[in-house]
Structure 1
Amino acid sequence: MPASPDPARAAAAPPPGPDGETIGFYKPDSYNAEESVGHMMRRITTMLAQAVASQMSEPGGPTFPQWAPLFKLHMGHATTVAELARECQLDTGAMTRLLDRLEAKGLCRRVRSVSDRRVVNIELTDEGREAARQVPHVLCSVQNELLTGFSPEEWMQLKHYLRRLLDNAQAIAARGEKNDPASS
């Protein structure tokens, strides 16, 4: 009689790929976190953030966590606290605290909507617009330096792989939301 499958292993097994076959790149008995894709991506993101922060840090200027909302406001991706929180993947409480700091630096202001008093719009000040204009220059500089030694073909291939990883991560998240009774 065959042994029953180990439920812990079955739960950890990835779903089959498009060809129906699952490849087990990682094995619990030989797992090395430092060599995992997630760990390396997290380290790259952290180090990238530190490099951006060091280039963006003028005295009194926006910090690394503050430049993303400034840039999203500047690009028109959001106009309210709730929209900006969604765009920056923060909860509204954290976004409110971040906006408090940006407002204290004179980089943005909150303005009540005239059509709906419950809505608070966020506007950049002249100083905020100037700070936001610097963001793409710094991001391009840091990311180009990060890609030192890559050929244009390798860069395109890397972006292709990262998009596939993102698609897979979004599919995993969607399955989790579908199975989460709290999200229904």
Structure 2
Amino acid sequence: MGTVDPLTADWLPEQTAAMQRLRDWAVSFAELNQHLATWMSLPTSDANALGHIIWAAEDDRPLTPADLSRQIGMTSGATTVLLNRLESAGHIRRSREHADRRRVTLRPEPDAREQARAFLAFAGAEIAEVLTSTGTEDLRHVVAFVERLTEASDRANKRLSAARGAKQPDA
């Protein structure tokens, strides 16, 4: 665990602003996901899950149901029901691509991927403009910063998951 106490640290205005802007981006991204749900005539939770599956496939890191369950914050049972809906609607397929045939991989169906791409083409113009007009060095700094934050969040999530059954620290 880190040595900085987030409750008593003397935060610089730039540090506070960075966290506020990241929060603003997360809220805005969630709203875009709600628009994707409407675009694809899906419940928001299904569109969110489908988005995770598509992004992972685009990054050539397909998800397992357990990965997806962790990312969307649902139990394995609820995730199974959600995946059944997405599969029945023709948006995803489950495959067994690993040596361990018990391991399931989630893949988007081509039509779902194309619908998502059409949405991004329509809805992502403003974001694309920012990305294409930002210098390479600035983007490298942003990527490095967000990677460090993600790694820190991942460590905190693992620590919290391990302590889930343990008593909460005294407040």
Q: Look up the SS of the partner of 1:78 in the other structure.
A: coil
Q: 1:130 aligns with which of 103, 114, 131?
A: 114
Contact 1:112 1:119 in 2 (8 A): yes
Check 1:15–1:166 CA distance in 2 against 1; reply closer, same or farther (3 A cut). same
- Determine if the alignment matches structure 1 residue 85 to structure 2 residue 75: no
AA at the equivalent of 1:85 = S
2:9 maps to which of 24, 28, 35: 24
How many matched pairs? 156
Task: Choose 92-101 or 117-126, whichever is displaced more.
Answer: 117-126
Distance in 2 (CA, whole Å) between partners of 1:139 and 1:105 is 23
Report if the CA contact (8 A) 2:53-2:63 is conserved: no
Q: Which one has a bigger Cα radius of gyration?
A: 1
Give the whole-Å Cα distance in 1 for the aligned partners of 2:150 and 2:117: 28
Matched with 1:8 is none
Gaps of 5+ in 1: 1-13, 17-22, 28-34
Pairs within 5 Å for 1:50-61? 50-54=31-35, 57-60=38-41
1:98–1:164 Cα change, 3 Å: same
TM-score, length of structure 2 as denominator length: 0.55
Q: What amino acid does structure 1 have at the position aligned with 2:65?
A: V
C-alpha change, 1:156 and 1:59, in structure 2 (3 Å) is closer
Partners of 2:96 and 2:146 lie apart in 1 by: 40
Q: Is the 8 Å Cα contact of residues 71 and 132 (structure 1) preserved in structure 2? A: no
Per-residue displacement from partner, 1:76-135 (whole Å, max 9, x unpaired)? 53364234435666542342232133124221245689x989666655444234346558
Structure 2 unmatched ranges of 5 or more: 167-171
